[in-house]
Amino acid sequence: MLDELLKEDIKSLGIMGGTFDPIHNGHLVTAQAAAYQYDLDQVIFVPSANPPHKTEQKITNAEDRYIMVMLATMNNHKFNVSRIELEREGPSYTIDTVRVFKELLGEVDIYFITGADAILEIFTWKKAHQILKECKFIAATRPGYSLSKLKDGIYEKYRNQIFQLEIPGLAISSTDIRQRVQNKRPIKYQLPSAVEAYIKKRRLYLDT
């Protein structure tokens, strides 16, 4: 199934992992900027089934999150969505996902795309040092988080593996969108209209 998503002559791939509860324009702008800046042939969005660091919070069922990612990415020919983590049991560890892509793609350059908040937590991820050796990271700026730490200490060792990406700051988060829906405040223009319609239709986030 995964190999069907990947173009045959692909030379560079971005993987955009996330909980996407829901996907929003911050995710899409980040993926698009990464694709442009690093000349990526494709970006595969990978919704986590069981995000390892979000075990304490209630998360919308994986199929709804997957459908929202599909709706959000359908108009971009470089974007695709993978069910790889949805079909794997247990916590959705990035090391496992990256290794499947690597095995399938061999010499293709793989970049895992994250926002500033995620990269600053990388050393709490499973086999973080291994992931950093096995794939490159694109770390996008995000309002409220500083990437200056990437210059010191433990990050120094991986300076050739982590690439900083300046994007127009979008102070949009899934947390804020969920709260807005619950409080009947507008979410228009923070996420694609098809995703907004889906949230309404499925009555998501009304009792979070």
Given the rule CB under 6 A, which residues bind ligand NCN? 17-19, 48, 51-54, 92-95, 118, 125-126
Q: Which residues contact 45 (CB under 8 A, 6 or more apart)?
A: 16, 17, 18, 20, 23, 27, 31, 69, 73, 79, 80, 81, 82
Question: What are the CA-CA distances from residue 190 to residues 13, 55, 142, 193, 196 (Å)?
Answer: 26, 26, 15, 9, 9
175 binds, among ligand NCN, ligand ATP, none (CB under 5 to 8 A by kind): ligand ATP
35 binds, among ligand NCN, ligand ATP, none (CB under 5 to 8 A by kind): none
Closest separation between CB of residue 1 and ligand ATP, Å? Answer: 22
E strand or H helix that includes residue 163: strand 162-165
**CB atoms closer than 10 angstroms to residue 53:** 13
Closest separation between CB of residue 27 and ligand NCN, Å? Answer: 10
Tell me: does residue 19 bind ligand ATP (CB under 6 A): yes
Tell me: does residue 174 bind ligand ATP (CB under 6 A): yes
Question: Between 30 and 97, whose beta carbon lies closer to ligand ATP?
Answer: 30
Query: Could you say which of 92, 114, 122, 150 contacts ligand ATP (CB under 6 A)?
Result: 114
